[in-house]
Amino acid sequence: MKKIKWHKVADSSASIHFTAGNVAEVEVEGKKICLGRFQEEWYGFAATCPHAGAPMMDGYVDGACHVVCPVHQLKFNLKNGRDKNGDGYALKTYAVEKREDGIYVGVEEGRFKWF
């Protein structure tokens, strides 16, 4: 079983500034992670596209629970990071929890060694 370490990234949801595309960027252990919102749920994912390294902060969340890369419009499922275009790419994903005392991102221990 994977061991998850939770990191508080904000004191409240109001303190996170989302773009018009429902994407925000936070820091965990000095690394950038994006957050996306879809139908009241929050998702965490890598800050760069695995295809060409584009900044996912400039992308957007579409109406089907995908985050769309701003460069080549690759779509990734927010729940599991799978490429919906069929190109075989996978976007790293992270668990997100909204708690009474803030917003937390869960990172598998040791994951940032190769991030």
pLDDT interval class at 114 (50, 70, 90): very low
When the pLDDT of each residue in the chain is averaged and rounded to a whole number, the result is 92
Please report the pLDDT score of residue 112 as a whole number: 54
Please give the average per-residue pLDDT across 33-37, as a whole number. 97
For residue range 1-14, list pLDDT tens digits in order.
Answer: 679 999 999 999 99
SS (HEC) of 21-63: CCEEEEEECCEEEEEEEECCEEEEEECECCCCCCEHHHCEECC
Please report the pLDDT score of residue 55 as a whole number: 97
State the Cα–Cα distance between residues 37 and 22, nearest whole angstrom: 6
pLDDT at 91 over 90: yes
State the Cα–Cα distance between residues 75 and 91, nearest whole angstrom: 9
Integer angstrom CA distances of residue 54 from 19, 40, 68: 16, 26, 11
pLDDT interval class at 115 (50, 70, 90): very low
pLDDT at 23 over 60: yes
Q: Which domains, ranges and CATH numbers included, belong to the chain? A: 4-108 (2.102.10.10)
pLDDT at 82 over 50: yes
State the Cα–Cα distance between residues 71 and 53, nearest whole angstrom: 9
